[in-house]
Each structure stands twice: as structure tokens, then as C-alpha cells.
């Protein structure tokens, strides 16, 4: 029972440095968050020791009575929170969860459709460098010139290409998804509708964004973004395969069984039980009234930040935000996202460079940055704080090479972070 700092002082040192970094910076990457002590404890637990291939009560290894309890509780909580008929909590992360959905529902070479990465979609929605754009005939839909999804365009592409599976969901889209419209389009071409809610799952759980069910057949989500849990993912779905006779005639399986079999034995081996326990705890936290307030505050804070940036003369894709993130178009400022990412980093504000829709600039020097509110909201930042943060970001954008501006922003960041501390008693040394 030798502690980490004795066994491996190098790693302990790096953990302490990362903890200090997280304490000191404004972490504004929209796909990140700060988990609770309870989630950290579950994640760092003895459950990592156990092999449990299979599902509760149907395992390939003995000694799983408590693992079964953990996984069953996680599944029940997931179903209740998202109004789902079935839940699989074993996916190692978001990308394998999506891959399992393809494996469950379509065959290599089949046509699938998702939002283009360049317009805010995820790699796993059919991008050409992803396995999903290589093994499947992937059709990609754009956003309209106003930055919003144009459902007429999505429908026209669907009618033209007849995908068997349509993904909705995104990683850089600041607006709300209309699941009813997506489902109507899916119905016209007999496609499955998969809602990948990785980014906004916490907003859905908190009741500030609409639920994909009953419109979607399947919902996938990561658990580590707005949901504020450990790195991991879930697949939620209906029980019945409503397109069984069209796409899976001859199969004896319902949709829930197709999904479960795609995760194990299709794609994965033993589940990460420590991760499952931490997901269960995350779902308990997300069902509490305080989480509803948290989700409301994420959106309020993103809107306050957007308003502040607009007041500073900045340009936002789609003109603002309905969720936890902002996509800023830096072209009017004649500067690229990579330069601003680095300049902000030096001032202790962490964001990521990002392409904007129809970006003429290359992906490594794109025209935008993506900024999110989940982490700062977890720290207790208010709308007033966010307006100040907006001013600080704008100061850097207007003078990315000015060292004195950078130093004054960094000092202001130190004030803000010390007013909203995290992990007060934690230390790895």
C-alpha cells in the first residue's frame, strides 16, 4: 500500500502540476469539465481490478456479484435520466460507442449520413479519414450560410442518397437540434436516427435542451463533457427495431440486443468497471435539482459571454449560442485560430482553434476558435464574471502580440480563478 508519490514521484509530480494548471487557468474547451470528488473516487477504485466480459448476470468470469450491481444501477439511472428503454454503459469512449452503432445497424459499404466535420460534425459521423468514412459510403451535410442546420438541405441529401442511418449531433454547433425534423427526414427514407449528444448530454439531463427520445432510435453520448463525469460513453436506445423487416429481416434480435452485441463481443472486451461506477455516480449527480441549476447556468453563462464578445465587436458563427459553446469567426480580425489559441494560452485562457463553416483556411491554421462555459460554470462563475472573461478574450484577440496586454489579462485571470477555487484539499505530493 505504498502511495503514488513514493512509488512513482515522477508521475506524482506531473499530476500535481496538472492539478495546479487546472486551478490556475480558465479552461474553456467546451468538451471538458471538472468532475466531483465522488466521481474521482469511484474512478480511482478497486473496480479496475475486475474482468467481467458480458452483461449483468451473464458474465464470462466469476466473482461479478458487485460489478453486476454497479452496472445495473448505472443502466437504470441512465434510462431514467434520458427516458430511454435500454442503456449500454460499457463503451470505452464516444468514438467506439459510435462505431458500435454502425456495426449494429449497417453493413460496410452501406450509405450513412452525418454532419460534415468542417461544419461542426464529429469525425465518427462519416469523415473521410475516419473508419466511418472509409468502410461506409458516408454522405456529409453542411450547415446553411447563417450557421444553422438547413433541414431542407438535409432532406434533399437524404432523398438523393437514401442513407440507412442518419446521425444528428455535433462537436462545434452552438444551436439546438430539432429531433422531430430529423426523424421526419429519416422516416421518408427508412433510415435509423442516431442522436450523438456527446456535447449537450448535460443540458438534456438538466432539462434545458430537448430529449432525443422518442424521436431517435439510438442516442449515444460521452459522459465527460457537459454531463460532468469520467471519460466514457453510453449508448441508449429503443427496445424495438422498427425497421427490422426492411434492414434486418431474418435477424432474431431487437434493437437493444443488436446494440449490446455490437459492444460485446463485437467491438470490445472487458468493460472498465471503475469507469462504469464513476458513470453511475455522475448520473446520480445529474438527476439532482442542483444539476438542473448547473445546466441552466451553463447556457446563461455562454450567452453572457457571447453578448460580451459581440459588444467587443467580435463575430460569432450563427450570431450567438443556445448551448454551452461559442464558435468565433476571426476572419474580420485578420488573425487565425492557431495564433489566438497560443496567445490565449500564454494568458492562461485555454480554448481550441477550430474551423468555421466553409473555412477557406487550412485545418491547422483555421479561421476560428471554439469557446465553452461548462468548466467555468462548474467553478461557480456568474454571468458578470463571464462578461469580464469576454472582455479579456477580446483584448488578446485585438493585440495578440502585446506582452503587456497578455500580462494584465493573466493577472485578471489569477483573480478570477482564486475567487473560484477547485479541489481545495487535493494533493498528489
Ligand X SMILES: *Cc1c(COP(=O)(O)O)cnc(C)c1O
Q: Count CB atoms within 10 A of the CB of residue 392.
A: 23
Residues contacting residue 143 through CB under 8 Å, at least 6 positions apart: 115, 119, 120, 149, 150, 173, 318, 357
Taking the complex as a whole, the smallest distance from the CB of residue 315 to ligand X amounts, in Å, to: 23
Choosing from 50, 59, 175, 225, the catalytic residue is 225
Alpha helices in 224-330 (DSSP H): 244-247, 255-261, 273-286, 289-311
What is the size of the binding site for ligand X (CB under 6 A)?
A: 15
Taking the complex as a whole, the smallest distance from the CB of residue 248 to ligand X amounts, in Å, to: 24
Element housing 21 (H / E): helix 9-24
176 binds ligand X, rule: CB under 6 A: no
Q: Looking at 27, 32, 71, 196, which residue binds ligand X (CB under 6 A)?
A: 196
* Catalytic-residue membership of 51: yes
Instruction: Examine residue 401 and say whether the peptide bond preceding it is cis (omega within 30 degrees of 0).
Output: no
31 binds ligand X, rule: CB under 6 A: yes
| Cell 489566438 found at | 340
* Catalytic-residue membership of 228: no
What is the per-residue binding string for ligand X in 82-101, x denoting contact by CB under 6 A?
-----------xxx--x---
Nearer to ligand X, 350 or 395 (CB): 350
Indicate the SS3 state at residue 22: helix
Q: Is residue 334 within 8 Å of 348, Cβ to Cβ?
A: no
Site for ligand X in 213-242 (CB under 6 A): 222, 233
What phi and psi, each to the nearest 5 degrees, are found at residue 114?
-155, 170
Phi-psi region of 131 (alpha: psi -120 to 50; beta: other; left: phi over 0): alpha
Taking the complex as a whole, the smallest distance from the CB of residue 96 to ligand X amounts, in Å, to: 7
The cell numbers describing 137, all together, are 459510403
Choosing from 155, 162, 181, 231, the catalytic residue is 231
The cell numbers describing 167, all together, are 446521425
* Catalytic-residue membership of 20: no
Choosing from 27, 196, 217, 341, the catalytic residue is 196
Euclidean distance between CA atoms 327 and 305, whole angstroms: 12
Stretch that binds ligand X, among 67-75, 166-174, 242-250, 391-399 (CB under 6 A): 166-174
Nearer to ligand X, 325 or 340 (CB): 325
Taking the complex as a whole, the smallest distance from the CB of residue 275 to ligand X amounts, in Å, to: 11
Taking the complex as a whole, the smallest distance from the CB of residue 424 to ligand X amounts, in Å, to: 29
Site for ligand X in 320-359 (CB under 6 A): none
Indicate the SS3 state at residue 364: coil
- Alpha-carbon torsion (184, 186, 190, 192), positive or negative: negative
Q: Looking at 26, 81, 87, 198, which residue binds ligand X (CB under 6 A)?
A: 198
Nearer to ligand X, 198 or 344 (CB): 198
Q: Looking at 86, 127, 199, 274, which residue binds ligand X (CB under 6 A)?
A: 199
Treating both helix axes as pointing N-terminal to C-terminal, what angle do 179-188 and 151-161 enclose, rounded to 10 degrees?
A: 20
Taking the complex as a whole, the smallest distance from the CB of residue 103 to ligand X amounts, in Å, to: 15
* Catalytic-residue membership of 222: yes
Nearer to ligand X, 124 or 367 (CB): 124
DSSP labels, 207-237: TSS---TTT-SEEEEESSSTT---S-EEEEE
* Catalytic-residue membership of 231: yes
140 binds ligand X, rule: CB under 6 A: no
* Catalytic-residue membership of 188: no
> Which residue, judged by CB position, is nearest to ligand X in the bound state?
94
Euclidean distance between CA atoms 370 and 208, whole angstroms: 21
Q: Which residues are catalytic?
A: 51, 53, 196, 222, 225, 231
> Where along the sequence are the contacts to ligand X (CB under 6 A)?
31, 93-95, 98, 122, 124, 169-171, 196, 198-199, 222, 233
Amino acid at each position: 500500500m505504498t502511495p503514488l508519490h513514493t512509488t512513482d514521484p515522477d508521475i506524482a509530480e506531473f499530476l500535481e502540476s496538472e492539478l495546479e494548471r487546472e486551478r490556475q487557468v480558465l479552461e474553456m474547451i467546451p468538451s471538458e469539465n471538472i468532475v466531483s470528488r465522488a466521481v474521482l473516487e469511484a474512478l480511482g477504485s478497486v473496480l479496475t481490478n475486475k474482468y467481467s466480459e458480458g452483461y449483468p448476470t451473464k458474465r464470462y468470469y466469476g466473482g461479478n456479484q458487485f460489478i453486476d450491481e454497479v452496472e445495473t444501477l448505472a443502466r437504470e439511472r441512465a434510462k431514467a435520466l434520458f427516458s430511454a428503454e435500454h442503456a449500454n454503459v460499457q463503451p470505452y469512449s464516444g468514438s467506439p460507442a459510435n462505431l458500435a452503432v454502425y456495426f449494429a445497424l449497417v453493413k460496410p459499404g452501406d450509405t450513412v449520413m452525418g454532419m460534415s466535420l468542417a461544419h461542426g460534425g464529429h469525425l465518427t459521423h462519416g469523415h473521410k479519414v475516419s473508419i466511418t468514412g472509409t468502410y461506409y459510403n458516408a454522405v456529409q451535410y453542411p450547415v446553411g450560410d447563417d450557421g444553422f442546420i438547413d433541414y431542407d438541405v438535409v432532406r434533399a441529401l437524404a432523398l438523393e442518397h437514401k442513407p440507412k442511418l442518419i446521425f444528428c449531433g455535433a462537436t462545434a454547433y452552438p444551436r439546438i437540434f430539432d429531433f422531430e425534423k430529423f426523424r421526419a427526414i429519416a422516416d421518408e427514407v427508412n433510415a435509423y436516427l442516431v442522436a450523438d449528444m456527446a456535447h449537450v448530454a448535460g443540458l438534456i439531463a438538466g432539462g434545458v435542451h430537448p430529449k432525443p427520445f422518442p424521436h431517435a432510435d439510438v442516442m449515444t453520448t460521452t459522459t465527460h463533457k457537459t454531463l460532468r463525469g469520467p471519460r466514457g460513453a453510453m449508448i441508449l436506445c429503443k427496445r424495438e427495431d422498427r425497421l427490422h423487416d426492411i434492414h434486418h429481416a431474418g435477424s432474431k434480435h431487437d434493437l437493444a440486443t443488436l446494440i449490446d452485441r455490437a459492444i460485446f463481443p463485437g467491438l470490445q472486451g472487458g468493460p472498465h468497471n471503475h469507469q462504469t461506477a464513476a458513470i453511475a455516480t455522475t448520473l446520480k449527480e445529474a438527476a439532482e435539482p442542483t444539476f438542473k441549476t448547473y445546466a441552466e447556468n451553463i447556457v446563461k453563462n455562454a450567452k453572457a459571454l457571447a453578448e460580451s464578445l459581440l459588444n467587443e465587436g467580435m463575430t460569432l458563427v450563427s450570431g450567438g449560442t443556445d448551448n454551452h459553446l461559442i464558435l468565433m469567426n476571426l476572419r474580420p480580425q485578420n488573425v487565425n485560430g492557431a495564433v489566438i489559441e497560443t496567445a490565449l494560452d500564454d494568458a492562461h485562457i485555454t480554448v481550441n482553434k477550430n474551423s468555421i463553416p466553409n473555412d477557406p483556411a487550412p485545418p491547422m491554421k483555421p479561421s476560428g476558435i471554439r469557446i465553452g462555459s461548462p468548466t467555468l460554470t462548474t467553478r461557480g462563475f456568474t454571468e458578470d464574471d463571464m462578461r469580464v472573461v469576454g472582455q479579456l478574450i477580446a483584448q488578446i484577440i485585438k493585440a495578440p502580440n502585446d506582452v503587456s496586454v497578455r500580462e494584465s489579462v493573466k493577472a485578471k485571470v489569477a483573480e478570477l480563478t482564486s475567487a473560484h477555487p477547485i479541489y481545495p484539499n487535493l494533493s498528489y505530493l
